[in-house]
Amino acid sequence: MAFLYSSENILPLPLLLATDAGLLLGGYLLAACIHPRRMLQLRTLLSTCGWITLCAACLRVIAPVLRTLTVSYSDDTIYALALVLSGLHLVFHDYGAAWSLSSSLFCSSSFSSPASFMVRATKVAAGIEGNENDDEDEDKDISDVSQSSCQAKTATAEAAAVAILLTSPSQFHGTFSLNAALFAAVLLASRLESNEQVFGFVFLAIELFAFFPLARHLAHRRSTTLHLLVALGLVVAATSALAAAVEHRPLLVMYLIVVVFVSLVCPVWLQHIHQYKFTIQGPWDIASVEGTGGEDS
């Protein structure tokens, strides 16, 4: 809808840029609510502002290139490719990122200290993660690690984090989806009229597809209620945008039907068919050892 409104000059450029700035500010405030001591530090604030300024400057420089990127292709080809890529984004999106256990390893409240985090992260990275209830061994490791310097702790944590990412391919389930969404945004941006519109539209796509999943994860870590409010706000924003376009009312009806089906019908349906599941298998099952006689002992 942002592309449609921008191409038809319904969405003014100042409003588009204000939306980009508002989303950035809202995401940073959400991160500040989760980590107030870190995010409200002057050094962190200046570093974040510098990084955003650099990204915005680079995007503004390449905006003329993006605007003329597909000038030799017809509109039907671009719209068809954008539709296919958007469908791939929906299919391969990592919908469980907000509840990901592996992603919450780095900042989970279950660790009482940075040393506890490093011990658990090092064990996972080395593939020797054992029983989570083995508190005595973990406490002993924590006391040993706590004797090292702060600089050594930081280096160990960074190395363990990199090792976890390299040994856990599930961390990158949403990479293909992200690339497809950004590619679709670039294709659609090449059909806008001005470089400023291209800049604002692509920057909005980066915020929604790259930064918004992180904001959802932070909101879920903060509280389930906050996560539901963020999801509800997203649905309300999408519904309002579709309702504003009178000529696209069938698309609004289709969207509402899909939202109601996924949010209400599917959970009730899953709860109903769960009663027909008699066999439950999983890693918690008791191991069955075969004896020498061929029968289970």
Q: How many helices (H) and strands (E) does the chain have?
A: 14, 0
| 214 and 250 both lie in a single domain | no
| 43 and 26 both lie in a single domain | yes
- CB-based contact 205:86 (threshold 8 Å): no
Which structural domain range is residue 110 located in? 103-167
| 113 and 129 both lie in a single domain | yes
CA distance 292 to 297: 9
| 235 and 270 both lie in a single domain | no
Q: Which residues of 114-130 are buried (b: 16+ CB within 10 A; e: fewer)?
A: bbbbbbbbbbbbeeeee
pLDDT at 240: 85
Residues of the chain with pLDDT under 70: 97-173, 278-297
| Terminal C-alpha separation, the chain | 64
- CB-based contact 290:297 (threshold 8 Å): yes
How many domains are contained in the chain?
A: 3
| 150 and 192 both lie in a single domain | no
Domain assignment present for residue 85? The answer is no
| 114 and 238 both lie in a single domain | no
pLDDT at 288: 63
- CB-based contact 93:177 (threshold 8 Å): yes
pLDDT at 235: 85
Please list, in sequence order, all residues whose beta carbon lies within 8 angstroms of the beta carbon of residue 213, skipping any fewer than 6 positions away: 94, 97, 98, 174
Residue 287, exposed/middle/buried by CB under 10 A (0-12, 13-18, 19+)?
exposed
At 252, the amino acid letter reads: L
pLDDT at 170: 41
| 197 and 66 both lie in a single domain | yes
pLDDT at 285: 62
Domain assignment present for residue 79? The answer is no
Q: What is the mean pLDDT of the chain?
A: 74
CA distance 43 to 179: 31
| 217 and 266 both lie in a single domain | no
Mapping DSSP onto H, E and C, the string for 128-160 reads: CCCCCCCHHHHHHHHHHHCCCCHHHHHHHHHHH
Domain assignment present for residue 261? The answer is yes
Domain assignment present for residue 295? The answer is no
Cα 18 to the center of its chain, rounded Å: 23
- Cβ atoms within 10 A of the Cβ of 284, count? 6
